[in-house]
Amino acid sequence: MTVQPHEVIAAVLRDVKAVVFDTDGVITDFARVHAAAWKTAFDALLAEHPPEDPGQRRPLSIRDDYLRYVDGKSRFAGAYAFLASRGLDPTDATVRAVAEHKERLFTERLREHGIDAYPGAVRLVRALRRAGMPRAAASASRHAHELLTRAEVLDLFDVLVDGGEAARLGLAGKPQPDLFLEAARGLGVPTARCAVVEDALAGVGAGRRGGFALVVGVNRAHDPDSEARLLEHAADIVVHDLAELLQEGVRR
Ligand SMILES: [Mg+2]
């Protein structure tokens, strides 16, 4: 009989009974495409309707504006928060128009490019499955089902709560914890025994508000500022790659 090295779950996850994963930026690497589509849509709007204060007319910065105001939130909440941050008082029609522009750009890019899951995320989710630990994916995006399917990882999750489901159930977006609470409910595990894995500041805050046992922040930007912000928003730990939540063991 050959002895094969295999991966076991790191100690930090051993006290929880289930894990809820955010999708974009945690499982699939489409967060960048969302960000780029938002940037194009917001920059077009700022050029067309420049704020009165010239200091507020600069294009959207993914690092400073997107991560702070938009990432992880529902489309309308994110669009409103960013435009308000530039001193604009957007009408519902403006918010809807910029969100629809972003949606068109996103759908075009979705069609043009393939979608990959992060290898470290796939390794972790598979290891959790082997260990019999229930797994959910939760996302404010109505595209989450399609993205997970195209990345060929949908079947690794027991439960998916996506933007369509959230709308149907009337769930509030992040930073409210509703999506994660619904995912934990679907897994049948109390939040106090569940971990949340999330890359957005709003999502880390949602995990904390929801009373989850462990909130793991994912710092895909690999920079110390992002790490500090995730910890400020009450992540318990921050990793760059989900494979850090594994350690090598020996299959017996
Ligand atoms: Mg995310």
- Whether the link from the prior residue into 175 is cis, omega within 30° of 0, is yes
**pLDDT score recorded for residue 172:** 92
- Condensed to tens digits (0 to 9), the pLDDT of residues 199-218 reads 999 999 999 999 999 999 99
**pLDDT score recorded for residue 248:** 65
Q: How far is the CA of 58 from the centre of ligand 1 (A)?
A: 25
**pLDDT score recorded for residue 1:** 47
Q: How far is the CA of 203 from the centre of ligand 1 (A)?
A: 7
Widest distance between CA atoms in the chain:
74
Q: How far is the CA of 20 from the centre of ligand 1 (A)?
A: 12
Ligand 1 (single-atom ion) residues, CB below 5 Å: 22, 24-25, 199-200
Q: Are 126 and 156 in contact (CB under 8 A)?
A: yes
Catalytic residues: 22, 24
**pLDDT score recorded for residue 134:** 98
What DSSP line would sit under 83-141, residue for residue?
Answer: HHHTT----HHHHHHHHHHHHHHHHHHHHHS---B-HHHHHHHHHHHHTT--EEEE-S-
What distance in Å separates the CA atoms of residue 251 and residue 229, rounded to the nearest whole number?
A: 38
**pLDDT score recorded for residue 28:** 92
Q: How far is the CA of 48 from the centre of ligand 1 (A)?
A: 29
Q: How far is the CA of 11 from the centre of ligand 1 (A)?
A: 24
For tokens 């991560």, the residue is 67
Structure tokens at 152: 């060929």
CA torsion angle for 100, 106, 118, 152 (degrees, to 10)?
100
Low-confidence ranges of the chain (pLDDT < 70): 1-6, 248-252
Q: 148: closest CA among 106, 182, 110, 177?
A: 110
- Condensed to tens digits (0 to 9), the pLDDT of residues 97-134 reads 999 999 999 988 888 877 889 999 999 999 999 999 99
- Residue spans of the domains in the chain: they are 4-29+116-251, 32-112
Residues 6+ apart with CB under 8 A from 21: 27, 121, 125, 135, 136, 137, 138, 157, 196, 197, 198
Q: How far is the CA of 54 from the centre of ligand 1 (A)?
A: 31
Sign of the torsion angle spanned by Cα atoms 110, 116, 121, 125? positive
CA separation, residue 99 to residues 33, 39, 42, 124 (Å): 14, 11, 9, 33
pTM for the structure as a whole: 0.80
CATH class name, domain 4-29+116-251? alpha beta
Q: How far is the CA of 194 from the centre of ligand 1 (A)?
A: 18
Architecture of the 32-112 domain:
Orthogonal Bundle (1.10)
Beta strands in the chain (DSSP E): 5-9, 18-22, 135-138, 159-161, 194-198, 214-218, 237-239, 246-250
Q: What number of other Cβ atoms are within 10 A of residue 94's Cβ?
A: 16
**pLDDT score recorded for residue 5:** 56
